[in-house]
A and B are shown apart, each in its own frame.
Chain A
Amino acid sequence: MKDQEILDKIKKGDERALDFLYQKYYKMMTNLVLKNNGTEEEAKDVYQEALLAFWKKAASGNLVLTSKISTYLYSICMNQWRKELERKSRLSREEVDGEEYQGHEDNERLKIVMSCIGELGDVCKKILTYYYFEGLSMNDIAENLNFANTDTAKTKKYKCKKKLDSLIKSKYTATDFFD
């Protein structure tokens, strides 16, 4: 598969393109971390994060590729690993007590949101994640999920979002989001 074909598939939300890229460059990308004091697990994590960042950007249509996909992925991996090394280094020097409480609160809210997403039906999950994560257009969502047209996709997205919002609000206390 050529780079342009891969990009076209990603723009349509075809996850097989993601699988293909993951397998194709796994060794190349993980070696970058492994040869720079990283473990197998860290290498895998860095590559997955880099690939998902690439996937998200490519799916949204915001990616203007001026090099090969492999080169682009390599640069993301390199930056990710550099950041990770810096984070590790910072963690070993600083105290993070002050940030802990706020982080804990955010995590609790995130858990509630995610559990509510889990309660949605598959179609709603797909519509909302395609729209907010991949940034797919309504037209692509309609095509991907075999809806009759874009308007159908828009209506469904609106209903799904409304349902999710009300589910979350019902689980939040008033202070959770009006503080």
Chain B
Amino acid sequence: MDNQQLDKIDLFLREELNQQESQRFQNELQTNPELNAEFQFQKQVFDGLNQFRHSQLKARLDGIDVTGVYGGGVLSSGLSKIVIGFGVIATIGFGLWYFNTLENEDLSNANIAEIDAPFNKEYNWVWKIPVPEVPKQSIEVSSSPVNKLNNISDNKQVEVLEEFEAESNNEDFEIEINRPQLLGMTDDSNFESEKISTPKIEESEIDGTNLSPIDIKIERSLGKLAYKYFDGKLFLYGDFTKEPYQILEINKKNGREIFMYFKNEYYPIKMVNEVSELKQLNDPDSKKQLDILRENKTN
């Protein structure tokens, strides 16, 4: 059997002959017994190869997991997809509502917060927050993270006083004092200052304190007194190291107002994200209110 005839058998079995060629080949098979015998043999081989491959692919399909998402799972149903979609949206909506409610509750409890934060060149923090009912507490924070942060020597001491203010007699505004959470500072024995790794901060930039609702940073680079206040952070520019300053926060009907008391003068703090000069407060009524507030605090 020559290769040409074998090729023709191949083409016939693979159905690659056109109708005329196919007919001619079948006629030849009728008249040529040798060709016919070889064709029968090749057909058996062809069938065997087909069967072999068919079984191979079937075994492959048998090994495929059909319990997955493709058309076989619960997700294939359109109704199921809609129900799951609504479920997800409802969960997100409830989550947003819940957290929003929590946030509002926190804000309603914080009508007025006022904290004095004096600061001197040796980085000794002295907090004076008069509280009528609560006795003074003195603690050592020589190894506290705050001292560590500011490179303070271990022998420094900080005196912390706290005071609660009840209500102001002034009718224009109500005053409540947010009690600073000092519990953690009364005993610093739990602080393992040796093991604490804190970022290195330049001396000229000191974070205010965690007790204040406003983060305060001071830079002494400018000659005049200036500030920047945005995103809950107050940046002070100038020399605030000689005398203590106070930050006073008042909730009025038209919103919250913040003032700074420094060297016997009041300075309104506005929300500005550019460095602005601290301008003295000239309104006598506001001054009077702030005097009352300060007086109530210190008595």
A residues whose Cβ falls under 8 Å from a Cβ of B: 15, 18-19, 22-28, 48, 51-52, 55, 60, 62, 109-110, 113-114, 116-118, 125, 128-129, 131-135, 164-165, 168-169, 177-178
Contact of B58 among A28, A52, A125, A134 (CB under 8 A): A52
Sample (22) of A-B pairs whose CB atoms are under 8 Å apart: A15-B57, A15-B60, A18-B60, A19-B60, A23-B65, A25-B70, A26-B70, A27-B66, A28-B71, A48-B58, A52-B54, A113-B45, A113-B49, A114-B52, A116-B48, A125-B52, A129-B53, A132-B49, A135-B14, A168-B44, A168-B45, A169-B41
Provided the pairs A23-B70, A28-B71, A132-B13 are in contact, do residues A117 and B60 lie with their beta carbons within 8 angstroms? no
CA gap between A134 and B56 in the complex, in Å:
12
What 7 pairs between A and B have smallest CB-CB spacing? A113-B48, A133-B53, A129-B53, A23-B70, A27-B71, A27-B72, A26-B66
> Is B50 interfacial (CB 8 A cutoff)?
yes
Total of A-B residue pairs, C-beta within 8 Å: 94
**B37 interface hit (Cβ, 8 Å):** yes
- Asked if B50 and A177 sit within 8 Å, CB to CB, the answer is no
Residues of B within 8 A of A (CB): 13-15, 37, 40-41, 44-54, 56-58, 60-62, 64-66, 68, 70-72, 76
- In contact, A117 and B76 (Cβ under 8 angstroms): no
Listed residue (B47, B60, B61, B76) with the most chain A CB atoms within 10 angstroms of its CB? B61
Tell me the bound Cα distance from A169 to B40 in angstroms. Answer: 12
Complex alpha-carbon distance, A135 and B45, angstroms: 15
> Chain A's nearest CB lies how many Å from the CB of B59?
10
A25 to B61, CA, bound (A): 13
Given contacts A27-B71, A129-B53, A164-B45, contact A22 B64 (CB under 8 A): yes
Given contacts A113-B48, A132-B13, A133-B50, contact A55 B57 (CB under 8 A): yes
- Residue A23 contacts which of B47, B54, B62, B64 (CB distance < 8 angstroms)? B64
Q: Are B46 and A132 closer than 8 Å at their CB atoms? A: yes
Contact B44 A113 (CB under 8 A): yes
- Smallest Cβ-Cβ distance to B40: which chain A residue: A177
If A23-B64, A24-B70, A48-B58 touch, whether A134 touches B53 (CB-CB below 8 Å) is yes
Q: Which residues of B contact A62 (CB under 8 A)?
A: 15
Please judge, given known A-B contacts A18-B57, A52-B58, A135-B14, whether A27 and B76 are in contact too, CB under 8 Å: yes
Are A177 and B58 in contact, with the CB atoms below 8 A?
Answer: no
Question: What chain A residues lie within 8 Å of B15 (beta carbons)?
Answer: 62
> In the complex, which residues of chain B have a beta carbon less than 8 angstroms from the beta carbon of A28?
71
B71 touches A133 (CB 8 A): no
Which residue from chain A places its CB closest to the CB of B69 in the assembled complex? A23
Q: Are B44 and A109 in contact (CB under 8 A)?
A: yes
- Could you say which residues of chain B place their CB within 8 Å of the CB of A110? 44, 47-48, 51
Contacts of B48 in A (CB 8 A): 110, 113-114, 116-117, 168
B49 CB contact (under 8 Å) in A24, A48, A128: A128
A22 to B60, CA, bound (A): 10
Are A114 and B51 neighbours in the complex by a CB distance under 8 Å?
yes
A169: which B residues are within 8 A, CB to CB? 41
Which chain A residues border B71 with CB–CB below 8 Å? Answer: 23-28
A-chain residues with CB within 8 Å of residue B40 when the two chains form the complex: 177
Quote the shortest CB–CB distance from B70 to chain A (angstroms): 4
Is the pair A52, B14 in contact by a Cβ cutoff of 8 Å? no
**Is there an interface contact between A19 and B64, defined as CB atoms closer than 8 Å?**
yes
When chains A and B are docked, how far (Å) is the Cα of A169 from the Cα of B48? Answer: 14
Chain B residues within 8 Å of A26, by CB: 66, 70-72
